[in-house]
Structure 1
């Protein structure tokens, strides 16, 4: 069924809701996991263009990603991870395509009304930019 699942982590409480569901699915399908976290802060967005060093947030994000990857590996999962910067939706779609993922797992956060209306949601953008199926889990409200 699924061979490689991209798991979009956002370093929030929602990850603790998403990961158990993804682990269940992974056990059923024997798929490998590719964890992805996208740092979206100002420094992360401009790092390449301005040749900036990593921000504290980016370092913490990488540490978090490594911790989750290590924990899943200890549980016996075939898992790898990637860290990206910039626009989350673009990075999720690009990574899923480059890594030949056949499912993208993400947690939803509910609506932040005005912000969602003006900017859209990451999930909304991802679903319009890819043909890869999405596995959505209702996460914790932010």
Structure 2
């Protein structure tokens, strides 16, 4: 059975439900979890130098928020006896960061939520989950 699950989270209620399901699976199979929060980088195109301060503030704030969030998930896992590590990754292609993290951590299952975008909105926006499904060689459990 699966021994190391990568759980991709984004702070949404659906991602937290997927995390809860991953903890159940890990608990039942004595697996460990790595939780990843992958965020796109901050981009502003301007010649105004004060915007570089905005970039630094955004980067610092995003990292601090992600660390607090990941620590709370790690604490939840610890409370139910599941071994859990966390990582925060900045990448313009979160799906790629998720896959690279899973490969680097030698995970044998990726668990993530589906946000259920359909129709034109889903087509235009795309889905990180869909991209992981398309590009990953590691099995993916999509939780809805």
TM-score using structure 2 length:
0.82
Residue matched to 1:116: 122
Secondary structure of 1:14 counterpart: helix
Q: Map Cα deviations across residues 60-81 of structure 1 (whole Å, 9 max, x no partner).
A: 1121011111221132111101
Over the aligned positions, Cα root-mean-square deviation in angstroms equals 1.8
Q: How far apart, in 1, do the equivalents of 2:127 and 2:138 lie?
A: 17
Distance 1:58 1:115, change over 3 A: farther
The question of 1:77 aligning with 2:52 is answered no
Name the counterpart of 2:31.
31
Paired position in structure 1 for 2:65 = 60
Q: Normalized against structure 1, the TM-score is what?
A: 0.83
Offset at 1:133? 0.6
C-alpha displacement of 1:58:
2.8
Match of 2:142 among 131, 136, 142: 136
Higher radius of gyration, 1 or 2: 2
Cα separation, 1, equivalents of 2:60 and 2:123:
29
Change (3 A) 1:58 1:114: farther
**Hey, what's the Cα distance between the residues in 2 that align with 1:115 and 1:58?**
29
Residue correspondences, number: 131
In structure 2, list runs of 5 or more residues that go unmatched: 44-51
Runs of 4+ in 1 over 3 A off after TM superposition: 112-115
1:126 alignment partner in structure 2: 132
The offset of 1:23, in angstroms, is: 1.6
